[in-house]
Copies of this chain bind each other. A is one copy, B any other.
Amino acid sequence: MPLTVTDAVLDGAPVGVRAVDGVIGAIGPDVRPEPGDATLDANGLALTPPLVNGHTHAAMTLFRGWGDDLPLMQWLEQRIWPAEARLSGDDVYWGTRLACLEMIRSGTVRFWDMYWHQLDVARAVLDSGVRAVVGQPILEFEGAPDGARPEDAAEGIAKLGELGARVHGALTPHAHYSVTESSLQLIAEISRTQQVPVHTHLSETGQEVQDCIDAHGCRPAHYLDRLGLLNERSVLAHGVWLDDEELELIAERGATIVTNPVSNMKLAVGGAFRYPRARTAGVAVGLGTDGAGSNNALDLLADMKVFALLQKHTAVDPSTVPAAEAWAIATGEHAPVLGGRPLGVGEPADFLLVETSGVEMTCGPLLESLVYATSSASVDTVVVDGRVLMRHRQIEGEAEVRARALEASRRVCA
């Protein structure tokens, strides 16, 4: 059934939106419901595009708060890896459902995931009503938990494709240092022939850069490029330690960097993504939360502020990343491959209705309020694919999801 939203506000002016078959059929001041439409009275709420979380491990909601403030390797070896070895597909399903709840509540309706049991992740995405690009990590170092095998990846992506239009597959080699060179080459080949994205970690720690130089005689971006893994299908999480030449190469190849400022600060990787330099070079940039194990929220609206703050702090310049730029990056406007789309006829019927009368909003422009002043509690309504997922902050089935996820969490964090 078509859905018509009336009495919303866009850029300060009244607006209506009509969604038909999951697509925006009409948007403008004169849009009125047609006979038989479902209707939603926005009652003056602001209409905005939704957010795109460019990098996460959604089901890690199960490990949230379990081993905070530990050094990275201790956290991984003593807490996360043993717990991940105990995960069933159902655990991952409920952990991902919980993550989807939190993302919906904070305005994110599309995310890039990398986690075990990808078919269960996909089921959770579809059942939650959101969109995602998912992939099972390929991990080949000694002692690593069992990941996907690159030679099975094509089949996995085909299976994901059959599940529904809101979920897509990506090739997800964990990182250049945790997958063999021959597997990386195979992945590059599959990506090229099947035209599927590659989502991987890159340059998160300084150690990883040095190790790459020692092992391959070049820095990580050059190594990926040599293997055919740097192109417009590449989604590179972190990129903290990329130097000028690497940033220019990435821009030239059309690859995307997803920065995860909260995770980088919480794990204390020691640097900040060199966004101003990346911007000058013309790199496509998105924003991610990373997993709830290292953030610990999946609240991109909150992380937008931290992104802007960290960049201003690092540049020693308060005009670095003004509010509108942080917002554009979080909605995917600066990185087409992430799949964020503007509001417009023929675009996916995905949008938010945001409260503008909260006590945290005063005389400034809406985007400045959203980036700097309000919390995710100002997101009132979330529509994806023309379907209302949240209304007045209520999501159907929330209590069951939380109870089942908590059950799984208690079992695996033991």
Contacts and interface: CB of A to CB of B under 8 A. Distances in A.
Interface in A356-372: 357, 359-365, 368-369, 372
Interface in A204-229: none
Copies in the complex: 2
A383 to B, nearest CB: 19
Interface in A69-128: 69-72, 75, 98, 101-102, 105
Contacts of A72: 318
A372 B68 contact: yes
Interface stretch (A31-39, A291-299, A344-352): A291-299
A268 B359 contact: no
Contacts of A368: 65, 68, 296
A265 to B, nearest CB: 4
A72 B318 CA distance: 8
B373 A292 contact: yes
Given A101-B359, A318-B268, A64 B364 contact: yes
Most buried by B among A64, A319, A320: A64
A65 B372 contact: yes
A410 B105 CA distance: 31
Interface residues of A, number: 70
Contact of A365 (B65, B363, B401, B405): B65
Nearest to A411: B363
A196 interface: no
B296 A372 contact: yes
Contact of A68 (B101, B105, B364, B409): B364
A301 to B, nearest CB: 9
Given A62-B362, A65-B364, A65-B365, A319 B71 contact: yes
Interface of A: 61-66, 68-72, 75, 98, 101-102, 105, 262, 264-270, 272, 292, 295-297, 299, 302, 306, 308-310, 312-313, 315-323, 357, 359-365, 368-369, 372-377, 398, 401-402, 405-406, 409-410, 413
27 contacts: A62-B362, A63-B362, A64-B360, A64-B363, A65-B361, A65-B364, A68-B322, A68-B368, A68-B372, A70-B318, A71-B319, A264-B313, A265-B309, A265-B313, A266-B309, A266-B312, A268-B313, A268-B320, A269-B316, A270-B316, A296-B369, A297-B374, A302-B302, A359-B398, A359-B402, A362-B406, A363-B409
Given A64-B369, A68-B364, A102-B359, 9 more contacts: A61-B362, A65-B369, A65-B372, A69-B318, A101-B359, A267-B312, A302-B375, A306-B309, A375-B376
